[in-house]
């Protein structure tokens, strides 16, 4: 109620999105290459409205936020980009709790990145026990590098 003296507080809706997927390292001849499925590039494009053609693999975690209005709400989408490298497991798992949605990203040019999605779902389920809140997160599949 607005009686002319009190200011109505904005209605804020916060969502937490977590991007999961492989980081792949391989060796070609004497050259060690790291191929990523470019989760970070997707997030930069969405949050910063710019396309990043080259990006180093994520070290630990990266973060982006997208603010918009939706049906009278101030919508704040907090997006967490996790490193898929095994050495960052301890860091990655700290961000699993209270996630609204999990975006499982795979590279259409790398079959193993698709086959490993079950590993990511299992890791997330084991770390959260999927019983920490009333509603469970929604899982989405996102195919990357589709022309």
- Give per-residue pLDDT as tens, 118-140: 999 998 988 887 655 556 889 99
The CATH T-level fold of domain 18-144 is Rossmann fold (3.40.50)
- Give per-residue pLDDT as tens, 21-51: 887 544 344 444 444 546 655 665 555 556 5
The residue ranges of every structural domain in the chain are: 18-144
Average pLDDT of every residue of the chain: 75
Structure confidence at residue 115 as a pLDDT band (50, 70, 90): very high
DSSP 8-state class, residue 48? H
Q: Identify the pLDDT of residue 49.
A: 59
Q: Identify the pLDDT of residue 134.
A: 55
Instruction: Give DSSP secondary structure letters for 73-141.
Output: EEEEEEEEEE--SGGGHHHHHTT-TT-SEEEEEEETT-HHHHHTHHHHHHHHHHHHTT-SSSSPPEEEE
Give me the mean pLDDT over the 96-100 stretch. 89
| Residue % of the chain over a pLDDT of 90 | 10
């Amino acid at each position: 109620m607005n009686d002319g003296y009190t200011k109505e507080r904005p209605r804020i809706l916060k969502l937490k999105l977590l991007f999961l997927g492989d980081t792949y390292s391989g060796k070609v001849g004497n050259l060690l290459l790291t191929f990523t499925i470019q989760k970070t590039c997707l997030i930069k494009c969405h949050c910063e409205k710019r396309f990043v053609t080259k990006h180093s693999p994520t070290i630990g975690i990266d973060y982006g936020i997208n603010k918009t209005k939706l049906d009278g709400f101030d919508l704040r989408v907090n997006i967490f980009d996790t490193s898929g490298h095994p050495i960052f497991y301890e860091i990655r798992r700290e961000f699993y709790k209270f996630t609204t949605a999990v975006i499982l990203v795979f590279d259409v040019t790398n079959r193993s990145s698709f086959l490993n999605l079950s590993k990511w779902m299992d890791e997330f389920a084991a770390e959260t026990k999927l019983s920490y809140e009333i509603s469970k997160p929604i899982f989405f599949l996102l195919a990357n590098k589709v022309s």
